[in-house]
Amino acid sequence: MDSTGRFLLSLVTAATFLQVRSTVTVIGLYGETIEVPCNNGAAKPVDLIFTKWKYKMDDGTSGDLLVKQAHKEQAQIQAMDGYKDRVTIAANSSLMIQGGSLVDQRTFTCMVVYGSNLDEHPVDVLVHKKPLPPQIKDKAKELENGKLTSLGVCTAADANPAAVIMWSKNGKLLVADGKTIIITPSVKMDPSTGLSTTTSGLQYTAVKSDVGAKFTCTAKHSLETQVSAPETFIIHYPTEKLSLQVLAKAPIREGDNVTLKCNADGNPPPTSFYFSIKGQKVTVKDSDTFTLTAVTRNSTGDYKCSLVDDDKMEASEKVVVSYLDLSLSPTGKVLKMVRDTLLVKMEQDASGDAKVSWTKDNRKLDETPRFDNVTYADAGFYVCEVSVAGIKRSQSFQLVVEGTPVIKKMTEHHSEDGRHKVLTCEAEGVPRPSVQWSVNGTNEENSYINGKATHKITVVPTGNLTITCIATNKLGNHFMALNVSSLIKDEKIPGKGAQDDSSDQALLIVFIVVGLIIAAAFVGLFYWLYIMKSRRGTWKTGEKEAGTSEESKKLEECNAKV
Ligand SMILES: *[C@@H]1O[C@H](CO)[C@@H](O)[C@H](O)[C@H]1NC(C)=O
Ligand SMILES: *[C@@H]1O[C@H](CO)[C@@H](O)[C@H](O)[C@H]1NC(C)=O
Ligand SMILES: *[C@@H]1O[C@H](CO)[C@@H](O)[C@H](O)[C@H]1NC(C)=O
Ligand SMILES: *[C@@H]1O[C@H](CO)[C@@H](O)[C@H](O)[C@H]1NC(C)=O
Ligand SMILES: *[C@@H]1O[C@H](CO)[C@@H](O)[C@H](O)[C@H]1NC(C)=O
Ligand SMILES: *[C@@H]1O[C@H](CO)[C@@H](O)[C@H](O)[C@H]1NC(C)=O
Ligand SMILES: *[C@@H]1O[C@H](CO)[C@@H](O)[C@H](O)[C@H]1NC(C)=O
């Protein structure tokens, strides 16, 4: 018998050899068709006459259900009660009971009549039903730390046999100890259906670590073990530790808003706190924060918070406000005369070690600038920058150096062609001096670089001249004279030095003589070539004559110079 179908078949009482009949138990499902096999589903005897199903009625007597003659197609229903419409017989002689319910939990007997024999096969039928999914009801709103509280009631309804309920916390079975955990189980049977509802009340003593713990109940049943949806509970416990938090970006600077937050580890958290602000007690209700707006260096100190109902529970935190004051003298635009003294004074007051740096026109200086004797080069934009953790301040001054013009240099040069003179006058001074020569010239050039004004003109002096250069600005003027000699006189200078050049002239004579000898040699060579060529008649006379006349001219020139 391999095809028991959806039906559970088990041998409750082993057949004894002494007894012909063996009692078999079959478990059917509530609400479904129950198959009651005849003789464990054994094959029908060949000489079968008829099969009959009987049942044990509520009063203990036997009632007939149906009879199936071996040679007939249809079985004859004999039942008069509720079974009349619910029973049929399968081809393999199994009794099929539709819409199984708990009333079907009784003994059915299959009677097989064949040849001259009669066998009876009684079967005990049980009807099982799994409970509805278990549910936790009457849940506690919150659990008090250390207090035994009714957490909830778990219900597994309408089962047969009754389900068994167990409680778990985070998947771990809770075992009743009669003190911190009390479990009250109960089973009630519905008299109309006969189904049982199991309930289990859990009384539980919560501890702080039960925050977030998942409580479940499990309904254990032969057909299926089901677990309820998990439940978590709010657990109330008193504050054990207080901490004060400073909510501000570090470092805290003057002008920042600093929020103090008092954190209590109790549940529910306290709704009011005391904040101790510089020795003053402030009560804060419905909040755990207190904000210090625009703190100053005077705000530096210890801050405290405590519980309103237990001021021994206290936390404190230090608040340090960084600050930096910088005062620079002078600032803004500073006007100084050359060679003046400028005193630079920088004062700073900071909450920590301040870093000071100076720049002049964006270039870093190695030290604080000192001006005992101001020069034009000192002019510039000076920035002093001071910083401590998180704070940076800078101040600056623009140093302007002024002075009356001073002529630094006057020069005269020959122009490249030797026919002019270039006069240059250089004068220092701020504001820009106007530089002029006392004569008019051409190719006038002016420049003003780093406080130095340059004026350049080209002149043609006709005689010895005394020329003045004058440099003028709003602060004063400066002039200087320059003796400029005439160009004619200048050309004579090499003539004067002729005796010095006598050795050069001797060298020139030597060159000319050597040149004449070479020329004579060439003349000889040409004459010979002419003789040779004229025999062939190809030389032109004009060319030769021109060459000779040129040579003689050169010769004459040389002789004249010597
Ligand atoms: C008997 O027949 C029924 C219906 O044909 C079938 O569901 C069942 O499995 C059979 N039982 C046995 C024990 O063979
Ligand atoms: C500080 O708080 C005040 C008022 O709450 C606000 O006006 C101000 O902008 C805040 N200052 C800063 C730096 O956040
Ligand atoms: C800090 O306190 C001192 C006196 O204690 C007071 O003179 C000063 O003005 C205060 N400074 C600020 C920035 O509040
Ligand atoms: C300032 O410097 C100039 C040139 O460097 C010098 O001639 C003059 O004596 C100095 N004056 C003082 C007061 O040091
Ligand atoms: C320079 O030229 C201007 C006109 O171009 C004239 O008025 C002035 O007198 C001249 N100066 C001298 C020194 O020749
Ligand atoms: C220029 O001065 C020099 C001396 O410095 C003198 O010998 C010469 O004769 C002068 N020339 C004229 C044209 O005055
Ligand atoms: C220019 O020459 C005059 C005389 O002709 C003389 O007195 C003066 O010192 C000279 N100046 C310069 C700068 O050489």
User: CATH number of the domain that 337 lies in?
Assistant: 2.60.40.10
Determine the distance separating the centroid of ligand 2 and the alpha carbon of 257, expressed in angstroms.
Answer: 6
Determine the pLDDT at residue 536: 55
Domain assignment of residue 211, given as a range: 135-236
What does pTM read for this prediction?
A: 0.54
Do 330 and 228 share a domain, yes or no? Answer: no
Per the domain annotation, does 229 fall within a domain?
A: yes
Ligand 6 in contact with 84 (CB < 6 A)?
no
For residue 159, the tally of other CB atoms under 10 A from its CB is: 24
Do 155 and 97 share a domain, yes or no? Answer: no
Do 435 and 485 share a domain, yes or no? Answer: yes
Q: Tell me the chain's radius of gyration from C-alpha atoms.
A: 65
Do 193 and 218 share a domain, yes or no? Answer: yes
Per the domain annotation, does 377 fall within a domain?
A: yes
Per the domain annotation, does 500 fall within a domain?
A: no
Spatial contact of 167 and 120, defined as CB atoms under 8 Å apart: no
Do 293 and 353 share a domain, yes or no? Answer: no
Per the domain annotation, does 216 fall within a domain?
A: yes
Do 228 and 340 share a domain, yes or no? Answer: no
Do 359 and 456 share a domain, yes or no? Answer: no
Of the three residues 128, 156, 178, the one that is the final residue of a domain is 128
Per the domain annotation, does 32 fall within a domain?
A: yes
Determine the pLDDT at residue 14: 33
CA-closest residue to ligand 5 atom 9? 440
At residue 27's C-alpha, the angle toward residues 21 and 28, to 5°, is: 125
Do 397 and 409 share a domain, yes or no? Answer: no
Do 114 and 139 share a domain, yes or no? Answer: no
Ligand 1 in contact with 94 (CB < 6 A)?
yes
Strand spans (E) along 3-106:
8-11, 24-29, 34-36, 48-56, 62-69, 76-77, 87-89, 95-97
Determine the distance separating the centroid of ligand 6 and the alpha carbon of 486, expressed in angstroms.
Answer: 8
Measured from the CA of 440, which atom of ligand 5 is nearest?
1
Do 221 and 255 share a domain, yes or no? Answer: no
- For ligand 1, pick from 1, 2, 3 the residue to mutate: most ligand atoms within 8 Å of CB: 3
Determine the pLDDT at residue 531: 66
Alpha-carbon distances of 81 from 29, 84, 86, 324, 529, rounded to whole Å: 21, 6, 10, 105, 170
The set of residues, in sequence order, having a beta carbon less than 8 Å from that of 443 and lying 6+ positions away, is: 422, 456, 457, 458
Rounded-to-integer distance, Cα 418 and Cα 173, Å: 120
Determine the distance separating the centroid of ligand 4 and the alpha carbon of 128, expressed in angstroms.
Answer: 120
pLDDT tens-digit readout, 438-489: 998 888 999 999 889 999 999 987 788 899 999 999 999 999 999 988 765 4
Do 103 and 11 share a domain, yes or no? Answer: yes
- For ligand 2, pick from 249, 252, 254, 257 the residue to mutate: most ligand atoms within 8 Å of CB: 257
3-class secondary-structure state, position 5: coil
- For ligand 3, pick from 293, 296, 299, 351 the residue to mutate: most ligand atoms within 8 Å of CB: 296
Per the domain annotation, does 87 fall within a domain?
A: yes
Do 22 and 84 share a domain, yes or no? Answer: yes
3-class secondary-structure state, position 519: helix
Task: Output DSSP code: residue 160.
Answer: B
Of the three residues 204, 220, 236, the one that is the final residue of a domain is 236
Measured from the CA of 439, which atom of ligand 5 is nearest?
13
Measured from the CA of 254, which atom of ligand 3 is nearest?
13
- For ligand 6, pick from 460, 464, 467, 484 the residue to mutate: most ligand atoms within 8 Å of CB: 464
User: Per the structure, how many domains does the chain have?
Assistant: 5
Of the three residues 84, 111, 128, the one that is the final residue of a domain is 128
Per the domain annotation, does 260 fall within a domain?
A: yes
Measured from the CA of 489, which atom of ligand 6 is nearest?
11
Determine the pLDDT at residue 504: 53
For residue 371, the tally of other CB atoms under 10 A from its CB is: 17
Per the domain annotation, does 459 fall within a domain?
A: yes
Determine the pLDDT at residue 526: 73
Measured from the CA of 297, which atom of ligand 3 is nearest?
13
Determine the distance separating the centroid of ligand 3 and the alpha carbon of 293, expressed in angstroms.
Answer: 16
Complete DSSP assignment for 262-299: EEE-SBSPPSEEEEEETTEEEEEES-SEEEE-S--GGG
Determine the pLDDT at residue 88: 95
The candidate with the shortest Cα–Cα distance to 27, out of 95, 136, 99, 105, is 105
Q: Residue 270, preceding bond cis, omega within 30 degrees?
A: no
Q: Which residues of the chain have pLDDT under 70?
A: 1-22, 487-514, 531, 533-562
